[in-house]
Chain A
Amino acid sequence: MATADVVQQARDYELPRWAEENLALALVLPGLFFFSAFVAIPLLYLIGLSMTNAALENMFRDAPGLWGTVFGEAEFIGFENYANLLTDGQFYRSFGITWLFVATSVVLKVLLGVGIALVLTHHWVRGKRLMRAIVILPLGLPAIFTITVWRGVFSSAEFGLANQILIGLGFEPVAWFSRRWMTFLSYNIAEMWLAYPFMVIITVSALQSVPEELHEAARVDGAGFLSRFRHVTMPAIKRPVLFASILTAAASFQQFLIPFVFNRGGPARSNELILLYGYREAFEFRAFGEGAAIMLTAVAVIGIFMIIAATKGKLAEGAHG
């Protein structure tokens, strides 16, 4: 066979059909594997860890065998960590306060976000576009900056902005972080401020899809502000706002930085949101096995919540639904 024939044959050679069709998969797989490795391996390890009594004194010691290399001297205890959670008062307290936080903060976020959006799209207001551009500025701020600043705002000293305002209004200053519900309130306010730009963006784009003629027609028919809001505005923004609420509820449930930076879920562990509870068990009390069990439970709950929301709320269709 001449060389030319080989070349010709190589040119004529075709990949098997399935490979030809899925060649592009080769471009996706490196990223997918890279990402999955950093999710799957820690996740599997976490599941393993949650079934051991791993703690600082036994986990980082070398022990023989495969188990010893992976988990040190920690022992397999099955589902004991999970069983212990069922009788753990702090676990229920944490879960309770987390769901309460989800409920209150979502309501506040939606009210504030929709309120701002309504004001900044109203036909009376001049300079709407500029104001809208300015009001979403907090979106660009790093979360850790925003939260440390809000910690300063709620500083118990008189220098804190919140207390300055209270004094200005003639009230007594409040020791924000040493009173349970004051702490909870401060978490809500900070969360509201973190999330309102997102709500404003979603609501504004929904409001702009309502034709002005619709409002005018309603006005001609003698509809007042409230009934126009109920029958013209509401139907248009209901779905996008619902979509945004689901996402922001998930964000509230996973809130960690605010309680961590403010006062570590205090006073006396009364405001430990669920992820902070798991984190503290692991990293402050060095009970890694128990911490892993708490974290996995929290992740399972948020996963189920998101799946239900995605199927019921048709999340995948997004804001356009």
Chain B
Amino acid sequence: MTLLRSIGRKIKADLQAIPEGIRGWMRNSRYKIDLYRRGKVGLLQLLAPVGASIGALFLVSALLFPVYWIALAALSGEGASLYSADGFNLIPPGFDPTLLITEGDWWMGMDLTAFVWVIGDIVIPSVRISIPLTGMSIVTGEIVLFEAANYGVENPSDFTLYAWNSLTVAIPTVIIAMSVIVPASYALSRREFLMRKKVLYGYILFTQVGGGLGLAMLIALYAIFVGIGVTNNKLALAVYYAAMAVPFNTWLLKTFMDSIPASYEEAAVIDGASPWQVVREIIIPLSKPGLAAVLIFVFLAGWMEFIVAQTLLRPENYTLPVGLFALIQEYTVPWARFSAFALMFAAPVMIVYLFAQRYIEQGLSFGGMEG
């Protein structure tokens, strides 16, 4: 919880920095214009920053345009199918900000049916709770929170099923991986032992060739999984993901632990703390941000992996990435629905990932992005 609070504090600080920045920029511009009026700088020097900034803004927008385009397509309602022509506008069809005031429409006239199709019905299923010793049981009723049919959408997507599958793959992945990563990274960061350098070097090397090697081993993995009869098994997939997550994340957590000053530990040892106490009361609390980052990366690895899942799983166990790919293979799926599905899959991942980068990942090369 302290972690969440510190993230909150940082967001607040970031937001407070925005008006500050604008004020500073305005002060600076006034000063520049003043200099120009007094003939101290030429017109070129006055206008170059404006032109350069506009150019840079244009470059950034052009680079990110595909993402905007997908958002646009998702808001085009039923829209055209993936392979048929339709008009193309820079703003979503039906978008009208005045509707916010006149009709209190938060979505300002944008068509959200594609998103309704993705989410489908949200139902809390009925549960039978038996009361021990009395032989009685209570059956709770089905609670329908959201029904797609009310919004004119029939046959909603399997998004919730796929999300559930992804979750049941990712959670065991995290549990298994963390239980081997944490002790190993502590040892690699704080202790000297045989082969320490070699293990680290091997881990780093694997993170670079891992993609190709993993793909090459897919054939063998598939044959072995068929042989022991665990294809289409989510737990087996999770065990595999956990194993593959070990090298990078051990290295990452080790780098993070390296940044904890050794003097803290020395002080604790002088005060008579046992090695276990040092770990429990110094290393673990101080590496919480690193632990959170590694936890997120391992979770996302299980959540996002596509190739192995696509090879091993059958439709009832599809995870979200496989479901997304299955969708684009279907030529009749409307483009709006595909886009909405893709965004619902990617947006949470991106937000979580960026938080991991911006607010948690200290001590990595991203420090270079400051300033």
Tell me which residues across on chain A come within 8 A of B49, comparing CB atoms. Answer: 124-126
Contact A34 B365 (CB under 8 A): no
Tell me which residues across on chain A come within 8 A of B191, comparing CB atoms. Answer: 23-24, 27
Contact A144 B304 (CB under 8 A): yes
Of A25, A42, A158, A247, which is within 8 A of B193 by CB?
Answer: A25
Contact A201 B53 (CB under 8 A): no
Is A84 on the interface with B (CB-CB < 8 A)? no
Contact B365 A60 (CB under 8 A): no
CB-CB under 8 A for A151 and B328, given A125-B52, A125-B53, A256-B215: yes
Interface string of A202-242 (1 = CB under 8 A from B): 10110010000000000000000000000000000000000
In whole angstroms, how far apart are the Cα atoms of A120 and B286 in the complex?
A: 34
Is B56 on the interface with A (CB-CB < 8 A)? yes
Of A126, A134, A275, which is within 8 A of B64 by CB?
Answer: A134
Contact B219 A46 (CB under 8 A): yes
In whole angstroms, how far apart are the Cα atoms of A126 and B32 in the complex?
A: 14
Q: Number of contacting residues on A, CB 8 A?
A: 96
Tell me which residues across on chain B come within 8 A of A316, comparing CB atoms. Answer: 201, 204
Question: Looking across the interface, which residue of chain A has its beta carbon closest to that of B179?
Answer: A30
Contact B64 A142 (CB under 8 A): no
Contact A49 B220 (CB under 8 A): yes
Interface string of B79-103 (1 = CB under 8 A from A): 0101111101000000000000000
Q: Report the interface size class on chain B.
A: 35 or more
A residues 149-173 with Cβ under 8 Å of B? 149-153, 155-159, 161, 164
Contact B325 A302 (CB under 8 A): no
In whole angstroms, how far apart are the Cα atoms of A247 and B226 in the complex?
A: 34
Interface string of B216-234 (1 = CB under 8 A from A): 1111111110110000000
Is B153 on the interface with A (CB-CB < 8 A)? no
Contact B220 A46 (CB under 8 A): yes
Contact A149 B66 (CB under 8 A): yes
In whole angstroms, how far apart are the Cα atoms of A119 and B51 in the complex?
A: 12
CB-CB under 8 A for A129 and B246, given A38-B240, A196-B63, A247-B208: no
A-B contact pairs, 20 of them (CB 8 A): A23-B193, A24-B191, A24-B193, A30-B183, A31-B246, A34-B242, A34-B243, A35-B244, A116-B59, A140-B357, A149-B67, A152-B82, A158-B85, A159-B85, A161-B65, A201-B365, A279-B215, A283-B219, A288-B219, A292-B219
- Could you tell me which B residues sit within 8 Å of A by CB distance? 21, 25, 48-49, 51-53, 55-57, 59-60, 63-67, 69-70, 73, 80, 82-86, 88, 180-181, 183-184, 186-188, 190-196, 199, 201, 204-206, 208-209, 211-213, 215-224, 226-227, 240, 242-244, 246-247, 250, 304, 306-307, 311, 321, 324-325, 328, 335, 338-339, 342, 345-346, 349-351, 353-354, 357-358, 365-371
Q: A24-B192, A140-B350, A302-B212 are in contact. List 18 more A-B contacts (CB 8 A).
A: A28-B183, A45-B224, A54-B223, A60-B227, A122-B56, A124-B49, A125-B49, A125-B52, A134-B64, A137-B67, A148-B325, A152-B70, A161-B69, A205-B367, A250-B209, A282-B219, A296-B216, A310-B205
- Could you tell me which A residues sit within 8 Å of B by CB distance? 21-25, 27-28, 30-32, 34-35, 37-39, 41-43, 45-46, 49, 54, 59-60, 70, 116, 119-120, 122, 124-129, 131-145, 148-153, 155-159, 161, 164, 193, 196, 201-202, 204-205, 208, 247, 250-251, 253-254, 256-257, 261, 275, 278-279, 282-283, 288, 291-292, 295-296, 298-299, 302-303, 306, 310, 316, 319
